[in-house]
């Protein structure tokens, strides 16, 4: 969990901005059907929904600084295209651009850079790890694992090799195996990065109360002022609660993340989903206001389809049909180019927006075969139920 690729392991914090790098793509997408808010918790109880205050700098300033750093990284790479350190820095910034700002084309650019780095340095273990990094982001886990093996044989740093393997374990449903390593790292160095990584794995396991406690501890231990990492943490926990059907806990986290970083694409998309859940005019108008600028500035079809669904509810059928058709075409293009990375998101689109449960079922089956996580299992079950219901109506 949305920008098409939105659940990442925070293995590295980049430079001055303190950005959480998009290293591995784990469970993503939003929970199935709109989920009404659960009853409000008792104030002061463990279920309290207030978001702890963590002071960070202006999102507008941080975004400006990030874009300047991205431009510098591109220039430095252009000046030294065979310098692996420069290439890795640019790839990390491109992944952050995709992760936070919904620029899916940045993944293609990062992939091309990693391929070129291997051509330039085929005997470099770190070049193979960089290639594994981009392959994992596109859910090509078998190929990524093979690159990690090559990197290890070529003498890549053992800790980086281990991190790469753990990310793939988590992404492919071997969550207990991943948690063993993540817990050890957290005990050794209980900092924001390691705590957040463990919290993300606990969320993927659906151990929600434990994950929430660790997310909260991670934010308390944050020792920077950049809004990127904290907004990322709030989004991840919010996505977890949204998936659990707890919109009362998800929404404050999304609101806080968006206030910190107003251009955070995935947060705006998920928040729009929540505020539109009841179909009331005020909620639908807020969702529309969140999604329209998002569609204009990103290349992610998820937001296009989501806005089309909102337009349907607002009785704007011509605009709705145009957007749903546009999203369908974009998803088909993405599935042709990077099928593994978009099985789950496309399945949700065809299930909930395009009204094609049979197509959704085929994609959900492929997604579950690729990575049998709890979220993937839930998506498959939902697609199976919808397909059976449709078949029953047709008989």
DSSP assignment letter at 137: H
CATH code, domain with 224: 1.25.40
Which of 188, 204, 228 is the endpoint of a domain? 228
CATH code, domain with 306: 1.25.40.10
Same domain, 25 and 171: yes
Same domain, 13 and 84: yes
Helix or strand run (H / E) with residue 13: strand 13-14
Same domain, 14 and 162: yes
What pLDDT does residue 50 have?
A: 54
- Answer yes or no: is 240 within a domain: no
Domain range for 328 is 276-389
DSSP assignment letter at 132: H
Same domain, 198 and 313: no
Same domain, 281 and 174: no
Same domain, 124 and 181: yes
Please tell me the pTM assigned to this model: 0.88
Which of 164, 195, 228 is the endpoint of a domain? 228
Which of 228, 244, 265 is the endpoint of a domain? 228
Q: How far apart are CA 182 and CA 164, in angstroms?
A: 12
Same domain, 281 and 165: no
Same domain, 21 and 131: yes
- Answer yes or no: is 198 within a domain: yes
- Answer yes or no: is 166 within a domain: yes
Same domain, 134 and 199: yes
What pLDDT does residue 390 have?
A: 83
Residue 309: C-alpha distances to residues 277, 283, 284, 379 (Å)? 11, 13, 10, 19
Q: How far apart are CA 142 and CA 136, in angstroms?
A: 9
Same domain, 11 and 153: yes
- Answer yes or no: is 261 within a domain: no
Per-residue pLDDT of the chain (395 residues), as tens digits, is: 333 333 343 333 333 333 333 333 333 443 444 333 333 343 334 444 456 578 899 999 999 999 999 999 999 999 999 999 999 999 999 999 999 999 999 999 999 999 999 999 999 999 999 999 999 999 999 999 999 999 999 999 999 999 999 999 999 999 999 999 999 999 999 999 999 999 999 999 999 999 999 999 999 999 999 999 999 999 999 999 999 999 999 999 999 999 999 999 999 999 999 999 999 999 999 999 999 999 999 999 999 999 999 999 999 999 999 999 999 999 999 999 999 999 999 999 999 999 999 999 999 999 999 999 999 999 999 999 999 988 766 65
Q: How far apart are CA 133 and CA 25, in angstroms?
A: 10
Same domain, 7 and 140: yes
- Answer yes or no: is 142 within a domain: yes
């Amino acid at each position: 969990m949305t920008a098409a690729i939105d659940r990442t392991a925070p293995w590295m914090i980049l430079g001055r901005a303190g950005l959480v790098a998009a290293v591995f793509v784990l469970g993503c997408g939003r929970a199935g059907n709109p989920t009404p808010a659960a009853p409000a918790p008792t104030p002061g109880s463990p279920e309290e929904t207030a978001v702890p205050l963590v002071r960070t700098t202006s999102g507008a300033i941080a975004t400006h600084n990030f874009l300047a750093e991205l431009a510098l990284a591109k220039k430095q790479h252009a000046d030294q295209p065979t310098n692996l350190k420069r290439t890795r820095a640019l790839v990390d910034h491109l992944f952050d651009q995709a992760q936070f700002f919904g620029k899916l084309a940045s993944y293609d650019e990062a992939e091309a850079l990693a391929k070129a780095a291997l051509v330039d340095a085929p005997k470099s273990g770190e070049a193979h790890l960089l290639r594994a990094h981009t392959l994992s982001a596109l859910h090509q886990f078998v190929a990524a694992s093979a690159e990690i093996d090559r990197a290890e044989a070529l003498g890549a740093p053992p800790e980086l090799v281990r991190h790469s393997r753990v990310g793939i374990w988590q992404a492919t449903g071997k969550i207990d195996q991943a948690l063993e390593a993540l817990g050890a790292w957290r005990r050794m160095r209980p900092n924001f990065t390691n705590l957040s990584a463990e919290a993300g794995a606990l969320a993927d396991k659906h151990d929600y109360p434990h994950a929430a406690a660790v997310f909260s501890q991670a934010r308390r231990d944050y020792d920077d002022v950049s809004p990127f990492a904290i907004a990322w943490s709030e989004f991840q926990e919010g996505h977890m609660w949204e998936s659990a059907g707890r919109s009362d806990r998800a929404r404050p986290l999304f609101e806080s993340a968006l206030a910190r970083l107003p251009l955070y694409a995935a947060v705006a998309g998920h928040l729009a989903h929540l505020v539109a859940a009841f179909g009331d005019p005020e909620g639908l108008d807020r969702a529309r206001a969140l999604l329209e600028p998002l569609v204009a500035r990103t290349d992610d079809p998820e937001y296009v389809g989501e806005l089309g669904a909102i337009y349907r509810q607002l009785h704007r059928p011509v605009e709705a049909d145009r957007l749903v058709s546009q999203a369908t075409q974009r998803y088909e293009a993405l599935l042709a180019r990077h099928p593994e990375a978009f099985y789950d998101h496309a399945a949700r689109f065809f299930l909930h927006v395009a009204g094609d449960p049979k197509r959704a079922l085929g994609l959900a089956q492929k997604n579950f075969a690729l990575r049998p996580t709890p979220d993937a299992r839930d998506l498959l079950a939902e697609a199976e139920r919808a397909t059976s219901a449709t078949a029953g109506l047709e008989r």
